[in-house]
Structure 1
């Protein structure tokens, strides 16, 4: 057995496909496509020093890592490493090799605190804790069966409210960006994020190959975007909520629920068979909304933190 670690080869379609496949096997509740993996690798801000790593065992890709600095956080020195190994190739050294390589890279670029999402399974938590990572907040992966499940009926729109799609903002996405920026800043997280660069958002978010502009739904109140539900699709019947949020001035009116319900109904009509989303374990309002839709919790992940000396 020969185990090696290297960077993903973006010019090699088979290598990118292998990366996405390992991720799908390890975390089937997220959408992993070669186009999505490649887009993030190419378009992440250079200040993030972002890398995709793979381990190979006798020529087979067995483990993956996405690593970088939280360049959009107001607090410097925060890095992340999210590592997933094929479920049938664990306990062979791939994870340890990826962690060591990732930590060396992040420390060399000034990281002093590292964050990593870890699936809430005993062997994974032990692996993290042995490497001085301590558990922090938790989050859930949720799934909705769009084929056999029953969506709540579409609700009548309140006066002054209309539902538009992201496609309606194709000529000028800036109002959508401003709404996304405000809600992202309020999202529960260990690492604060600030969306301030419109051009970077266009490249990273608006042009993301999985963003489905026809299904992404925006509630507009008296002409102003007030709430939204961003949809990703993989072209194979899988739909994922990339972000749902409401501007501060419009919260408490059920607008995000209206937007997400409309998006899910259109997704089902378009042939999507299952929907995925993720929620911070402490985000009770959004968990209640997703329970109302019929989502079920399928897995838990725990964010772990390590302070570097």
Structure 2
């Protein structure tokens, strides 16, 4: 076995995709999304990624990094994917990661894995404990009938796609950002979500490769933004991915969240998508109830695992690379 640094080249991104596909064919990689994620890392972020080879063939990838979506001081995120025939490498690679991580002296490590993946069993055996669960769910539009759920919008409210609004103007962007921050603060989670600064949000959200302005819907009362739901392009065939859906507290319990979801589903059908995917925290019962009413079907849960304190082991096996290129 050899472990070498990931080169952030086109060839190594393809290697990453091939390994991920072999490890988890039910969860294909989004290479464009990964490259955008790598490019928009902020100054001071930690990121080290490696390729695992056996007899010259890539059989695994592993990394540790500052959490991208919810960064917390002193926390590093770890992740690895191994070809099914090489799961026995988990132990040596965990030792390798411990050695590489030790100089950063994190007080906690975390990772997100599906509950049916081998990583779940291995990492919990190393002391990782479950923090929260998210349900990935899929709506098959071929069998979707919105008519029993359709209701008129409350008086004075409209729903507009982002593409019909001045979304490229900073004043509007700041209003949209403020709405998203308010809604994220109300998302039921095991731990409060740490929002991105405005400039980071601009770069990551409004310049992402999967942004679909015509499938991003905003509810308005006059010109006041009161709710939203997002559909993004997906690397999965015939699929759109749901982002944040929410309504300001002042406008809840009026059917607006359901109206937004129905508008998004109608757009997806006209767009030519067969499936809509979404993800919800296990304790977010209001949104789970809406998705269940719409007909979304749950997949195995994605579980956030955390290890704290971290049993650091300085030093590293001889098969480690000598440098960690950055993107």
Shorter-chain TM range is 0.7 to 0.9
**Runs of 5+ unmatched residues, structure 1:** none
Larger Rg: 2
Separation in structure 2 between the aligned mates of residue 72 and residue 301 of structure 1, nearest angstrom: 15
Q: Is 1:109 matched with 2:109?
A: no
1:156 aligns with 2:152: yes
- In 2, Cα distance between equivalents of 1:160 and 1:144: 30
Indicate whether 1:170 and 2:155 are aligned.
no
SS of residue matched to 2:261: helix
Gaps of 5+ in 2: 312-327
Number of residue pairs aligned between Structure 1 and Structure 2: 303
Residue in structure 1 matched with residue 130 of structure 2 by the alignment: 135
| Structure 1 position 234 matched with structure 2 position 229 | no
C-alpha contact (below 8 Å) 2:189/2:283 kept by paired residues = no
Indicate how the Cα distance of structure 1 residues 50 and 165 shifts in structure 2: closer, same or farther if over 3 A, else same. farther
Q: Deviations over 1:149-192 (max 9, x none)?
A: 21423542211111122222233422221112222233344553
Task: State how 1:123-272 maps to structure 2 within 5 Å.
Answer: 123-146=118-141, 148-153=142-147, 154-167=150-163, 168=165, 169-172=167-170, 173-195=173-195, 197-234=197-234, 236-272=237-273
CA drift of 1:37 comes to 0.9
1:78 aligns with 2:75: yes
Contact 1:17–1:33 (Cα < 8 Å) also in 2: no
2:46 to 36, 45, 49: 49
In structure 2, what is the Cα distance between the partners aligned to 1:176 and 1:298?
31
CA contact (8 A) 2:65 2:77 kept: yes
Q: Is the 8 A contact 1:232 1:242 kept in 2?
A: yes
1:24-56 deviation line (CA, Å, top 9, x unaligned): 555567673321110001102233313444333
In the alignment, is the contact (CA less than 8 A) between 1:54 and 1:63 conserved in 2? yes
Cα contact 1:164–1:219 (8 A) shared by 2: yes
3-state DSSP class of the match of 1:279?
A: strand
Name the Cα RMSD after superposition: 2.7
Going from structure 1 to structure 2, the CA distance change for 1:222 and 1:38 (only over 3 Å counts) comes to same
Q: What TM-score do you get using the length of structure 1 for normalisation? A: 0.85
